[in-house]
């Protein structure tokens, strides 16, 4: 990451060659002047993206004391959109506490968190499991409706993912939600949800990771 016109901008390595890249979002925010790319090309280093670089423009980069204007390719990518309805379950007075603190400091609240009743709210404005379910499943349906026929990447939390699983497979058992796992849902007309892939962590096969870090369950938040 480097500064671009005083703001953060991406500098990407493509096949071992330094390639100056600016995002479409930065182009719009900074009102940069662009022109057609002389040699348009497919973005090969984003798997299955099917994106094509067709524009370029002059960008002033600053890296430390170095300042230089270079022609940069405009990367047509989809930027992050924050959605409050995809936040983790609100735990009320238990927010910010780890389990052993919650048990000791707020035993009544912790019992509410551990309750098997799905309509049990947590004191201090905390959500019930039913409220979490309604919030996040409605959010995914809304997103799906805006992007029919498209693939959308949603990055969210264990409690939310568990609720989405329950929506797609009411009689199924999700087990623990694995950290960084990829879970693929297909939403189709007729209000039909299908799970295409669940708990895929194959991308970690060649990576060392902390096994004890795995585990969101129904008390996640």
**DSSP per-residue letters across 62-86:** EETTEEEEEEEEEE--PPP---GGG
Q: Domains of the chain: which residue ranges?
A: 2-75, 84-213
Contact 47, 20 (CB under 8 A): no
Q: Which 8-state DSSP code applies to residue 88?
A: P
Question: What is the CATH T-level fold of the domain 84-213, as seen in this structure?
Answer: Rossmann fold (3.40.50)
Q: Which residues are paired to 75 by β-bridges?
A: 23
Tell me what pLDDT residue 9 has.
Answer: 53
- Cβ atoms of 35 and 57 closer than 8 Å: yes
pLDDT by residue for the chain (221 residues), tens only, comes to 445 555 545 544 344 444 677 778 778 877 888 999 999 988 765 555 567 889 998 887 766 677 778 788 888 766 678 899 999 999 999 999 988 899 999 999 999 999 999 999 999 999 999 999 999 999 999 999 988 888 888 999 999 999 999 999 998 887 788 888 899 999 998 789 999 999 888 877 877 666 655 555 666 66
- pLDDT score of 52: 83
Question: What's the rounded Cα separation, in Å, for the pair 59 and 12?
Answer: 14
């Amino acid at each position: 990451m480097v500064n671009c016109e005083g703001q953060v901008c991406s500098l990407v390595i493509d096949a071992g060659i330094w390639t100056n890249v600016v995002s479409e979002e930065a182009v719009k925010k900074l009102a940069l002047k662009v022109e057609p790319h002389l040699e348009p090309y497919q973005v090969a280093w984003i798997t299955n993206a099917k994106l094509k670089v067709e524009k370029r423009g002059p960008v002033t980069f600053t890296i430390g004391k170095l300042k230089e204007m270079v022609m940069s390719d405009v990367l047509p990518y989809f930027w992050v959109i924050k959605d409050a309805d995809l936040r983790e379950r609100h735990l009320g007075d238990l927010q910010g506490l780890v389990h052993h603190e919650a048990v000791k400091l707020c035993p009544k609240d912790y019992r509410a968190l551990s309750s098997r009743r799905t309509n049990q709210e947590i004191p201090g404005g905390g959500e019930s499991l039913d409220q979490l379910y309604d919030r996040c499943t409605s959010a995914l349906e809304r997103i799906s409706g805006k992007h029919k026929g498209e693939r959308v990447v949603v990055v969210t939390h264990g409690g939310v993912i568990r609720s989405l699983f329950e929506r797609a497979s009411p009689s199924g058992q999700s087990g623990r939600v694995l950290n960084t796992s990829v879970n693929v849902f297909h939403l189709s007309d007729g209000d039909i949800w299908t799970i295409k892939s669940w708990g895929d962590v194959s991308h970690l096969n060649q990576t060392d990771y902390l096994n004890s870090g795995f585990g969101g369950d129904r008390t996640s938040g």
